[in-house]
């Protein structure tokens, strides 16, 4: 399902850092030199499937139908975990069957998944399916291969970011991602009214970061549609000492007095 232009778009996301993404790109370009390669990120925290799934979900929806998304955060590389091609909302996703792909695919439509036949990986390095399995598959899809040509339909694994729990005096929520600014992305899509307190520290409810004073903690709805705790000019991660997976309670200020 190539893009509507003459040059197919392939995005890339991984936890590889430097060096290894270039090998994936080489594997793609050796099969389709006209592809437009767009890096989403190669700095997902190592082996953090949940962070990769969130980043892919946020980024994929910005691309046009026909885009192929190649995503690799793969602690199970070389094991019996499946390799997948997923179609949803006119987009195609390629990567491991560990939940990485499905939040993004589900945000675009109703995902359908096909297993990549193990024979496709017969000559692959057991530690680098990104280069030897997923990149060739992405190139083939960009050139018009059908998802069903790779293997049978399967039920893919997914990741659940959970839901915030609302109570009378506030909100219990979870950090699901920390961005490069140290902003804490929460699994909440609404922010309680009134002044809020986290661990005894007030956070200002604002529409934009600059509405808070310099070095002041704040909470807002980010461009991704989720609530986030930030510090204007600083790092909420450092200030609160929180990391993905941590549960926090947002209380209305008068309830903590």
pLDDT tens sequence across 46-83: 999 999 999 999 999 999 999 999 999 999 999 999 99
Q: In the Cβ-directed half-sphere of 79, how many Cα atoms lie within 13 Å? A: 8
pLDDT for position 170? 85
Spatial distance between the Cα atoms of 12 and 134, rounded to a whole number of angstroms: 10
Model confidence at 2: pLDDT above 70 = no
Domains and CATH numbers, the chain: 9-154 (3.40.50.10790), 165-255 (2.40.30.90)
pLDDT for position 197? 93
Of 252, 228, 225, residue with least CA distance to 240: 228
Rg (CA), the chain: 20
121-142 pLDDT per residue, tens: 889 999 999 999 999 999 999 9
Q: Read off the pLDDT of each residue in 172-201 and give the average, rounded to a whole number.
A: 92
pLDDT for position 154? 98
Q: Read off the pLDDT of each residue in 184-208 and give the average, rounded to a whole number.
A: 91
15-53 pLDDT per residue, tens: 999 899 999 999 999 999 999 999 999 999 999 999 999
Model confidence at 5: pLDDT above 70 = no
């Amino acid at each position: 399902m190539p893009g509507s232009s003459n040059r197919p778009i392939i995005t890339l996301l991984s936890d590889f850092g430097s060096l290894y993404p270039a090998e994936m790109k080489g594997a793609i370009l050796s099969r389709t030199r006209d592809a437009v390669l767009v890096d989403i990120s190669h700095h997902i925290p190592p082996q953090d499937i949940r962070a990769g799934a969130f980043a892919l979900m946020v980024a994929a929806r910005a691309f046009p139908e026909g885009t192929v998304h190649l995503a690799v955060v793969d602690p199970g590389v070389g094991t019996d975990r499946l390799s997948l091609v997923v179609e949803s909302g006119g987009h195609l996703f390629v990567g491991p069957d560990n939940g990485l792909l499905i939040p993004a695919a589900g945000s675009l439509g109703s995902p359908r998944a096909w297993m990549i036949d193990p024979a496709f990986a017969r000559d692959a390095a057991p530690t680098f399916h990104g280069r030897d399995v997923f990149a060739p598959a992405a190139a083939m899809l960009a050139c018009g291969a059908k998802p069903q040509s790779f293997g049978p339909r399967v039920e893919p694994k997914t990741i659940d970011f959970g839901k915030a729990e609302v109570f009378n005096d506030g909100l219990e929520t979870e950090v699901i991602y920390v961005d490069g600014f140290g902003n804490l992305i929460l699994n909440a899509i609404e922010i309680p009214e009134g002044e809020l307190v986290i661990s005894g520290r007030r956070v200002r409810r604002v529409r934009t970061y600059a509405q808070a004073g310099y070095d002041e903690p704040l909470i807002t709805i980010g461009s991704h549609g989720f609530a986030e705790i930030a510090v204007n000019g600083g790092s909420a991660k450092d200030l609160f000492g929180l990391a993905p997976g941590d549960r926090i309670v947002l209380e209305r200020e008068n309830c903590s007095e």
